[in-house]
Amino acid sequence: MKKLNVAVIGAGSISEVHFNAYTNNPEVNLYAVCDLNEERAKAKAAKYGAQKVFTDYRQLLADAAVDAVSICTWNNSHAEISIAAVEAGKSVLVEKPLCKTVEEAERVEAAVRKSNKVLQVGFVRRYSSNTKIVKDFLESGDLGEIYFAKATCLRRLGNPGGWFSDKERSGGGPLIDLGVHIIDLSWYLMGKPKVKSVSGNVYNRLGNRDNVKNLSFYKASDYDASKNTVEDLANAMIRFENGASLLVDVSFTLHAKKDEITVKIYGDKGGAEIEPELFLVTEKHDTILNMAPQVDHASFDFNEGFQSEINHFVDACFGRKETLSPVEDGLEMMKILCGIYESAEKGIEIQFR
């Protein structure tokens, strides 16, 4: 059986789950690692048994043995590397967000269509077992038409610093880093309706709060307390052409009692909560029923989600499945995210044609 030769571009923290998931897939040969930091690339290659190490992604893409790549680099390089990869005949799994701007996303989409290669955007929560369960209920009509959703991901203290807090490299703060996940998951479960308008706000009030003691939080490897050019908090109302709406709020830092994540959808026959734990509400025989499914993971399981996502990507590369998160969805998500930032900057609601 021919194995899929996979290369991972970018050996930072998120790459770990990619490496582990590829290692667990028997149809994958982890062929190469690429990172600007050669020592880090060598360390990852040694740990996961990759045959080759690169510091220039262009040299990696010139290697005919590479079948597919995972792009785990800074957001500002996603578009450039994705386009180069599909043009080189490689299938691509690119971490979220697809890129930084709508214009970049349109160029990526054009390149993917021309190449006819697989490009899967890393909307990992689409691939979780709980999302699949809710999709089954939705597709059977048990929840009816979804007309409202709420998505929250609030960190009281959680600006990772480094490239995450550098707008030039990241494209933004919690909205583009955390919000992309919960907005996409809600939109996906709502049936991906066409966006009509967005109205958003962003706030830069607290900075990275490096002064806080006695409470730890994740810090990027290039953490620098003196540098922060991204928002602390963002919120938005997203309206869709079918009349549905989505209310969102996300933060890196906030004077809140505790961290909070919720994703809830409401239909005319029932509702569902995906976070903080899977829960369903419906009505039968004039009685409201609360339903708590018996499942392995009540909330999103990081490793299970990424394993499912990468297994699906491998299937797509072999032509057995269509990706659940195509480039077109990555483009639509960039329109929403950039629309929120534009709305906040201009102080107006942004209309889509």
Q: What are the tens digits of pLDDT across the range 182-195?
A: 999 999 999 999 99
Give pLDDT tens digits for 77-127.
999 999 999 999 999 999 999 999 999 999 999 999 999 999 999 999 999
Q: How many CB atoms lie within 10 A of CB 198?
A: 25
Q: What is the pLDDT of residues 330-341, one digit of tens each?
A: 999 999 999 999
Mean pLDDT of the chain: 97
The answer on pLDDT for 1 being more than 80 is no
93-195-259-302 Cα dihedral, nearest 10 degrees: -20
Q: Indicate whether 71 pLDDT > 80.
A: yes
Please, what sign has the CA dihedral across residues 304, 306, 310, 316?
positive
26 preceded by a cis bond (ω within 30 of 0): no
- In which order are the strands placed within the sheet that holds 233-240? 287-291, 279-284, 270-275, 260-267, 146-154, 245-251, 233-240, 195-203, 350-351
| 4-123: CATH superfamily | NAD(P)-binding Rossmann-like Domain (3.40.50.720)
Amino acid, res. 195? V
Provide the Cα torsion 70, 76, 81, 84; round to 10°: 150
pLDDT at 161: 93
Contact 336, 128 (CB under 8 A): no
| SS3 at position 56 | coil
Q: Vertex 292, ends 140 and 240: CA angle to 5°?
A: 50
- Where in the chain do CATH 3.40.50.720 domains reside? 4-123
Which runs of E-coded beta strand occur in 26-159? 28-34, 52-54, 68-71, 91-95, 119-122, 146-154
Q: Provide the 8-state DSSP code for 326.
A: -
Residues 164, 168, 171: CA angle, nearest 5 degrees:
65
77: which DSSP letter? G
Question: Which of the four CATH numbers 3.30.360.10, 3.40.50.300, 3.40.50.450, 3.40.1640.10 does domain 126-308+332-351 have?
Answer: 3.30.360.10
List every span in the chain annotated with CATH 3.30.360.10. Answer: 126-308+332-351
Amino acid identity, position 62 = A
